Amino acid sequence: MEDIEILQDIDWDNLIFDLSPTRSMYIAEQRDNKVWERGKLVPFGNVSISPAAGVLNYGQGIFEGLKAFRTSRERIVLFRPGNNAIRAIQSAERLCIPPVPQEMFMEAILEVVRDNSDYIPPLGKGSLYIRPVIWGTGTVLGVKPAQSYTFLVFVSPVGHYFKNSEKCLHLKITNKFHRTSPRGTGGFKTIGNYAASLLPQKLAKKAGFDEVIYLNAANEHFVEEVGSANLFILKDNTLVTPSLTGSILPGVTRDSVIQITKKILKLEVQEREVSVDEVLDADEVFCSGTAVNVTSIGEITTDETFRIISGGKIGPYTKRIGEILSGIRNETVEDQFEWLFPVF
């Protein structure tokens, strides 16, 4: 099919997780609290914004992240995009942003991916990362919602999030910072959540760690999330992950891991509070997310101790879950969950 040929002169073997500008992006406006206007494709580039915009002054903005893949059946597919559309609606409502209707969200993504299909890496070389963003464009001075908004979708071919995807991560459990607080915005994909994680991440990497594991702000005996991913532990053939209590992002990959573990691997899954001691005593530990996929954690450091998990190697269940998830996306494993959404 001519539409899905790989035309771009990109070094696919050395692709990293960073921006590679593509041909076009999608943009739509909502003015004066009226309905969203019909969007359009425009050349990828900068956007104009007032210095008094709500997003610049009060952080009134949300975003999503999903991917398009080339498969073994020579198709281009999205992975569970409807979940991202629903989560974007929930995040928008939390920040008083007029939600983008699910149908419009899906149409925007399909338009951008189709127009930039030649930027999608070959099978096994990476994916096309899709970034929808919605923000308050209207001017504000007092603390209040903006009166107009912008919905934009851009894409970029990406490789693995971590530099060495075959190597287990070394993470630091920190009580110096909290990612979010009870009844806050941790369960939503707001831009401020990620800005607050930049300093802890910077300090962790400077000290030689790959990322941070955050603790529950109300009770520091329990863990919550990795900086950019959900956290899982395996102990005695049981998969355990912190429950969604409002301060943890309901990850699409998180839900996929849970379903694969229950329905394919036939293991017990528990969603509950997870203590620091349980993490340190686990047989396997890994994190999941759209950007990181399923990534093994082989070493964990706290202020008091250092622990090697699974001999510092990828555990058997972690490996199998990752293989099944990748196989479904690549169409080498049957998509019994009907997660794939064809672009063409």
pLDDT of residue 1: 36
User: At the topology level of CATH, where does 169-330 sit?
Assistant: D-amino Acid Aminotransferase; Chain A, domain 2 (3.20.10)
> Mean pLDDT, the chain, as a whole number?
95
21 secondary structure, DSSP code? -
Share of the chain above pLDDT 70, in %: 97
Reply yes or no on whether the pLDDT at 228 is more than 90: no
Q: What is d(CA 68, CA 71) in angstroms, rounded to the nearest whole number?
A: 10
The H or E element spanning position 223 is strand 222-226
Q: What is d(CA 158, CA 233) in angstroms, rounded to the nearest whole number?
A: 27
The pLDDT tens digits of the residues spanning 89-110 come to 999 999 999 999 999 999 999 9
The pLDDT tens digits of the residues spanning 40-53 come to 999 999 999 999 99
SS3 95: coil
Read off the pLDDT band of 344 (50, 70, 90): confident
Look up the pTM and report it: 0.95
pLDDT of residue 166: 73
Read off the pLDDT band of 179 (50, 70, 90): very high
Sign of CA dihedral 241, 242, 243, 247: negative
Read off the pLDDT band of 2 (50, 70, 90): very low
Q: What is d(CA 60, CA 188) in angstroms, rounded to the nearest whole number?
A: 12
Choose, from 40, 144, 172, 189, the residue flagged as catalytic: 189
- Start-end of CATH 3.20.10.10 domains in the chain: 169-330
Instruction: Give the β-pairing of 24-30 and 66-70.
Output: unpaired
CA angle at residue 115 from 114 to 117, to 5 degrees?
60
Q: What is d(CA 326, CA 165) in angstroms, rounded to the nearest whole number?
A: 14
Asked whether the beta carbons of 281 and 234 are under 8 A apart, the reply is no
Residue whose C-alpha is closest to residue 225's, from 266, 279, 164: 279
SS3 162: coil
Q: Which is higher by pLDDT, 3 or 321? A: 321
Query: What is each CA distance from 32 to 112, 144, 261, 304, in whole angstroms?
Result: 26, 14, 47, 54
The pLDDT tens digits of the residues spanning 107-134 come to 999 999 999 999 999 999 999 999 999 9
CATH number 3.30.470.10 is the correct assignment for the domain at 2-158: yes
Q: Mean pLDDT, to the nearest integer, of 228-257?
A: 97
The pLDDT tens digits of the residues spanning 64-80 come to 999 999 999 999 999 99
Strands in 59-198 per DSSP E: 61-63, 66-70, 76-79, 127-136, 149-158, 169-174
pLDDT of residue 34: 85
Rg (the chain; Cα; Å)? 20
Q: What is d(CA 222, CA 38) in angstroms, rounded to the nearest whole number?
A: 46
189 catalytic? Reply is yes
DSSP sequence for 316-337? HHHHHHHHHHHHHHHTSS--TT
Residue whose C-alpha is closest to residue 341's, from 67, 119, 5, 2: 67
| Total residues belonging to the chain | 344
Burial grade of 166 (CB within 10 A; 0-12, 13-18, 19 or more): exposed
Reply yes or no on whether the pLDDT at 3 is more than 50: no
Q: Which is higher by pLDDT, 305 or 163? A: 305
